Amino acid sequence: MSLNCEEIELILSEEPLEGMKIQNIFQPSYDAIVLELYGRGNRLFYLISIAHNACRIHPLTAPPAKNERPLRFMECLRSRIKGGTIIHAEQISKDRIIKIEITKADEKGSPAKLFLYARLWSGAGNVLLVSEEGIIIDALRRLPSRQEISGAAFALPAPRDAASQSAKPYTIRDLQGPGPFWQRIEHFYSEHTGQLSRDALIAQVREIFSRKYSSLENRLSALSAKQNEYQQAKRFRQIGDILIGGYAVEMQGTKTFARALDFYENREILIEIEPSATPAQNAARYYEKYHKAKTGIDDIAAELDRCRASMSQLKTWLSKLEAEPDPIVIAQALRKGGAARTKEKMRFPCQHIEYKGWTILIGKSGKENDEILRHIARGSDLWLHARDYSGSYVFIRAIKNKSFPPEVIQTAARLAIYYSKARKNLGGDVHTTYVKNLRRAKDGPVGLVIPYLEKNIYISFTEAQIKDILDESLSGEEIEQ
């Protein structure tokens, strides 16, 4: 529950702000500021909070917690009103809007006025710094819909009439405890707002858990389906042998099938085929599936283990935060995981995928290519680029004592064509060489290189193959604890 107008009046009378000098300003959270004041022989910390269901203004018995990093509104107030003096403070029309008039010498030494307005409306609160000309300098919450942004004209809401005020009288809460009312209010909120804040944070934690866990479940389902398919490796080879032996074409709806004798199981079967392909080409498709499944079964098992481990870590993360009583610790955990105000640091400065245990980087601009070449790529990494077409540089990161598998090189080559102007051709030639064989183009654009000792690969693909590549690659979603 936020302070009502009568409680605000009482607090302002118990500890008046008039005549107090502003020594410093703190911003312990995104929805509160604290003025460090000195006057009448005492130092005083005055809190102004616009937290939902806890909008209030009152002194503090102890200094506030300091934020780990400087915040925008706090820095603005420090530059504008630190060192100033409060010459008047009042609640306007008992409407829970506090107007604090501040005077401070300007650059020329002349006194200049600034106004700090605090609107203590639950769900619509704000704190604004306003110039003497009535222009908003900055706001704790920037609200374009209310025109509460830097440079906008400040306007007070219309005051309530006497009839509406008398229709809903407010009383001062009878709070138990020693000291003046503001101390009892401080004690009340210190006991209750922590839980309110914790409940909101836990709701955010559960939403993040639900979203990430659902993503991992979908990934696990896709990997399990792929594992079941790969476990049929031997059968793919048998189907290829059957198709080589000849078949009769049969249509069923929009699909084309080969009706052939399965000489492995001595029965007649239907096999889905490409209608425009020859028997040898259709057999080759199943032989390719055989080799892919044979070499990929171990990689799929490793990815399944990693996915299950991530799900277990995520459950542990949720349990740990649900058992944490301190909302500050929960908020810090959310910030660490990139869920709050900080942005998670990127592993690479470009798009990347993990494919069968190999990392493939895709630089989509000269700046990204240059960043990869300068800070990421090593001489033993493999570089690929569409021949005669502009497009992305693709890199396969080398693994010590391992040679690049043909399937991984072909996959990277398909991506090089896919992310180039040759994409519409569904195929083309690709240059490939080691990074150590690249030379920067003299006076050329950023990121441009000239390859030496390169080899040429011709590759073709379908949109379905690219989708399979991206589906099989690891999502890269890490669970931080």
pLDDT number for residue 433:
94
pLDDT in tens, 152-170: 999 987 665 545 555 567 8
pLDDT number for residue 295:
67
Token pair of 323 as six digits: 């058992």
Residue 142, φ and ψ in degrees, nearest 5: -85, 115
Q: Name the CA radius of gyration of the chain, rounded.
A: 34
Looking at residues 11-35, what average pLDDT do you find?
A: 92
Looking at residues 120-129, what average pLDDT do you find?
A: 90
Residue 474 pLDDT greater than 60, yes or no: no
pLDDT number for residue 481:
35
Q: Are 439 and 452 in contact (CB under 8 A)?
A: yes
Q: Residues of the chain with pLDDT > 90: what percent? A: 38
pLDDT number for residue 374:
86
Residue 342 pLDDT greater than 70, yes or no: no
Q: How confident is the model at residue 376 (pLDDT cuts 50, 70, 90)?
A: confident
| CA dist., res. 6 & res. 158, Å (int) | 19
Q: Are 255 and 322 in contact (CB under 8 A)?
A: no
The pLDDT mean for the chain works out to 84
Q: Residues of the chain with pLDDT > 70: what percent? A: 89
CA angle 153, 154, 156 (to 5 degrees): 145
Most confident residue range from 18-22, 229-233, 320-324, 330-334: 18-22
Looking at residues 43-49, what average pLDDT do you find?
A: 93
Looking at residues 435-464, what average pLDDT do you find?
A: 86
Looking at residues 267-279, what average pLDDT do you find?
A: 91
pLDDT number for residue 466:
84
Residue 434, φ and ψ in degrees, nearest 5: -75, 150
* Residue 65 buriedness (CB in 10 A; 0-12 / 13-18 / 19+): exposed
Q: How confident is the model at residue 475 (pLDDT cuts 50, 70, 90)?
A: very low
* Predicted model pTM: 0.46
pLDDT in tens, 182-235: 988 888 887 665 555 667 778 888 888 998 899 889 888 888 887 887 777 788
CA angle 304, 305, 306 (to 5 degrees): 90
- pLDDT, greater one: 339 or 462: 462
Q: Are 438 and 373 in contact (CB under 8 A)?
A: yes
pLDDT number for residue 367:
85
pLDDT number for residue 340:
36
* Residue 69 buriedness (CB in 10 A; 0-12 / 13-18 / 19+): exposed
pLDDT in tens, 286-310: 888 887 777 667 777 778 888 888 8
The continuous run of DSSP H or E covering 115 comes out as strand 111-119
- pLDDT, greater one: 472 or 413: 413
Most confident residue range from 111-120, 170-179, 397-406: 111-120
Looking at residues 362-373, what average pLDDT do you find?
A: 87
pLDDT number for residue 346:
59
Residue 257 pLDDT greater than 90, yes or no: yes
Q: How confident is the model at residue 366 (pLDDT cuts 50, 70, 90)?
A: confident
Residue 2 pLDDT greater than 90, yes or no: no
Residue 476 pLDDT greater than 50, yes or no: no
| CA dist., res. 83 & res. 459, Å (int) | 70
Q: Are 307 and 223 in contact (CB under 8 A)?
A: yes
Looking at residues 170-187, what average pLDDT do you find?
A: 88
Residue 17 pLDDT greater than 80, yes or no: yes
Instruction: Encode 240-273: b = buried (16+ Cβ within 10 Å), e = exposed.
Output: bebbbeebeeeeeeeebbbebeeeeeeeeeebeb
pLDDT in tens, 57-103: 999 988 887 776 778 899 999 999 999 999 999 999 889 999 999 99
pLDDT number for residue 293:
73
| CA dist., res. 371 & res. 377, Å (int) | 9
- pLDDT, greater one: 123 or 224: 224
Residue 471 pLDDT greater than 80, yes or no: no
